[in-house]
Amino acid sequence: MSSALAPRQQVPSLSRLGWLMGLYAENHARLQRLFEPLDLARGLYRSQAGEGPAVFLAVSERHPYTMEMGLSYDLTDPDTGLPDPSASLRLYRDTRQLEATHCYAGRRWQDVIGIDAPPRRVLDHRLQMNTFLGKWLQYLAEQGHGVATLRRVSRQVPAADSPGGARKA
């Protein structure tokens, strides 16, 4: 009977870091298809699609190899006054990767994993943040957000003290 079975092929497994780097690449492709950020100047952009809340994209820094951005809905956490949800993003132009460096969805990262979290817990949190970002970007595209709905609303970029930085000036 064992001679009738096809030989098993070993599928290479990804390390957790490899998985995270893959998420970064997928998120870059999603954001590029959605808003084409490489073509955007510094400033605050707003996208309105249908009846849902507006989305803000703040392009705060443009460097030769990276861009710093913030993404948020036009919704505010009633307790903190911060945009909720929101994400701080770093786009790596040369490697075509997009990293969610901070996410705020009701709680700050310090409240979720603690200040002195071990490296494994930090990596787990980065995986969660970037998985969330990928799902959020996919949802925004499904809701009709995109280059056609994105409008520049200000040359001013909001203060850096708000997570995501994507708040009305």
pTM value is 0.79
Q: Which of 23-27, 69-73, 77-81 has the lowest mean pLDDT?
A: 77-81
CA distance 133 to 27: 7
- Cα separation, 7 vs 18, in Å, equals 27
In the sheet where 43-47 sits, what is the strand order?
97-104, 86-92, 66-73, 55-62, 43-47, 150-154
- Predicted pLDDT of residue 45: 97
CA distance 86 to 46: 14
- Classify 74 as helix, strand or coil: coil
- In this prediction, residue 12 carries a pLDDT of 59
The pLDDT tens digits for 22-37 are 999 999 999 999 999 9
Q: How far apart are CA 14 and CA 17, in angstroms?
A: 8
Tens digit of each residue's pLDDT (9 = 90 or more) over 108-132: 545 555 567 677 777 788 898 899 9
Report whether 128 contacts 119 (CB < 8 A).
Answer: no
Any idea which residue has 């460097």 for tokens? 63
For residue 68, give the H/E element and its range.
strand 66-73
Alpha-carbon torsion (105, 141, 165, 101), positive or negative: positive
